[in-house]
Amino acid sequence: MSIENKLVLEVVRVTEQAALAASRFSGKGDKHAVDEAGTEAMRKQLNEMEISGTVVIGEGEMDEAPMLYIGEQLGKGGVEVDIAVDPVEGTNITAKGLPNSVTVIAISEKGGLFHAPDMYMDKLIVGPPAAGKVDLGWPVSANLKALALSMNRNVEDLVVVVLDRPRHEKLIHEIREAGARVKLIGDGDVIAALAAAIRGTGVHAVMGSGGAPEGVLAAAALKCLGGEIQARFLPADEAERERLHAMGGDENKIYRTPELAPGDEIVFAATGITDGDILEGVRFFGGGARTHSIAMGHKTRVVRFIDTIHLMEADARVVIRV
């Protein structure tokens, strides 16, 4: 049985448990409690899976993160896989009870996910119609024209997601000057990447710099969905540059989806913590909760939206309603 067929529902259980745990702290103002709860629940669930997994994208180096650190071995034993995780994408927005926080995981065969260092990278993310028709090396206006042409619409019809950071002031001006609209977000460029690749979200592209680990997670999802990410590492100093080179990276190269997620078998899953553009957040009721997830596989070419009822108490009952 392939990795995707064997693990697709298992990885959803991982993100569901992390979302359930993290959501207990949603709106309570403590981002550390949010992250700790999601991380602990995710690690526990991963250790119950019949895999021999290695964390290649995680919470940080071993001396920085007590759990889900890069290089940590997880699972009860079985098929060898690489694991990329973000137990809570958007700890700040979860702590504030704001939209679009999720828990995310990608699993591949060994060597199927780029071992990206924890630094920034410049990103250009588009959906399937524009894949192969844009270029991170082009001016912003040229990419927006190519994107609009690929989608059979005007530049003025486009919405581009950008992280709301001072470093993006020039980018935001260029997008607006070209005629497109900007949707600013506080966190969460992985779920923004999914929004760009899924029709009906009102998002058409993601531009700007963000975390390299999140770029690999986005690449895993985009490879399954047929979208595209182009990215260039942005080391902040010589130490980061040396670390990038030691991990086989090159700051002068534009990396594309197949290089960030080269695996033949890739499973990606995300579960909503708070309500968002694609996924609903966790909803608690007496004795249980309801979660909403997306799961997909590259080789199987299947995308699932999974609506799950969790009965947590022996006498819990719920009336199922569509």
Cα 221 to Cα 204: distance, rounded to the nearest angstrom: 16
CA dihedral sign of residues 77, 81, 86, 88: negative
The candidate with the shortest Cα–Cα distance to 83, out of 72, 67, 92, 94, is 72
The mean per-residue pLDDT over the stretch 4-16 comes to 93
% of the chain with per-residue pLDDT over 70: 96
Q: Which domains does the chain have, with CATH numbers?
A: 3-112+266-311 (3.30.540.10), 120-260 (3.40.190.90)
pLDDT digits (tens, 9 = 90+) for 267-288: 999 999 999 989 999 999 988 9
% of the chain with per-residue pLDDT over 90: 86
pLDDT digits (tens, 9 = 90+) for 103-143: 999 999 999 999 998 999 999 999 999 999 999 999 999 99
- Give the CA angle between residues 163, 223, 76 to the nearest 5°: 100
pLDDT score, position 286: 87
Cα 107 to Cα 81: distance, rounded to the nearest angstrom: 7
pLDDT score, position 320: 64
Residue 318 has pLDDT above 70, yes or no: no
pLDDT score, position 185: 95
DSSP state string for 79-101: EEEEEEEEEEE-HHHHHTT-S--
